[in-house]
Amino acid sequence: DSGGARIQEGVHGLAGYAEIFYRNVMASGVVPQISVIMGPCAGGAVYSPALTDFVVMVKDTSQMFVTGPDVVKTVTQEEVTFEELGGASVHASKSGVAHFAAENEEDALFIVQQLLDYLPSNNMEDAPPMGGHQDDPLRQDMELDTIVPDNPNRPYDMKTIIRHLVDDGQFFEVHEHWAMNIIVGFARLGGQSVGIVAQQPAVLAGVLDVEASQKSARFVRFCDAFNIPLVVFEDVPGFMPGLNQEHGGIIRHGAKLLYAFSEATVPKITVIVRKAYGGAYCVMNPRHLGADLVLAWPSAEIAVMGPDGAVNVIFRREIADAEDPAARKAELVA
């Protein structure tokens, strides 16, 4: 809760900022760092929470921005409110600065309490196991057979699968409202804290884009730093195409996720639930990047590309020469 540096202190105030930032960086990957923003956080003060692992903001009472509405109006002629510029909802859904948007201050502290349950005290320890869970690790859940649609193009909610598999159906999602085509969060399996990374077929068919790559790569690296095993649920048709993605650096950001999985030394398990196509398959923790175990759901499809795209490339001339190109293509795809 800070309005920025005291102008009267001059460079000494900036030195204080820099020393805090330095300590944030030195502690990164050593102890978990959580920032709770209860009120305005402006100017240089915003960089300390940005350097921490998790940021919790409170709706309607907390804002984060480098320059306030008055400066924005002077420089760009835009008129914006504090909430529009840097409110909790904005940072939780658009910028990705906030991992959680709490309803009030009590809710913010409860979120921190829940989060700490899954984390170790430092990078030399493991997360404490949690006893008392009711689920048998060897249980059979027949409902899992009904979640993935027979039609490979129909969406479904990957969170349903996650909740059926983890202890007591409890999944603590991180960045729930940002880059919603990929899911990250914490859960427990047999009482052991694990990090979950999963595509969300119900949003943009689960494709990987710039924001999804950033979100998941950072989460993977956090889990690796703090000895938290990773479980990946994969259903990815590929990377998002388009000028915005290419110009936004999808190659560079996609490489971050590939690097994060390759570098991670914690136990890594991948479950291919449905689609695993092309370069996106290579990025999502396959055996070739060092996955310790790769499991295939009965509906798994592992290929260079989907059947429709493959037929267009391989049988292009045959389809063009056919009396009924559409019918011939449908026959080849089938």
Tell me which residues are annotated as active site. 43-44, 279-280
CA distance 55 to 218: 13
- Give the distance from CA 239 to its chain's centroid: 15
Q: Which residue type, as a one-letter code, is found at position 41?
A: C
DSSP string of 159-222, one letter each residue: HHHHHHHSGGG--EEESTTSSTTEEEEEEEETTEEEEEEEE-TTTGGG-B-HHHHHHHHHHHHH
Residue 73: its H or E element: helix 69-76
CB atoms within 10 A of CB 24: 18
Query: Which residues, 6 or more positions from 89, have their beta carbon under 8 angstroms from its beta carbon?
Result: 59, 83, 101, 177
Is the Cβ–Cβ distance between 220 and 268 less than 8 Å? Answer: no
Report the sign of the C-alpha dihedral through residues 72, 75, 79, 84, in that order.
Answer: negative
Both tokens of 223, joined, read: 């889990």
CB atoms within 10 A of CB 145: 10
Both tokens of 32, joined, read: 């978990």
Strands (E), 286-328: 293-296, 301-303
Query: Which residues, 6 or more positions from 81, have their beta carbon under 8 angstroms from its beta carbon?
Result: 69
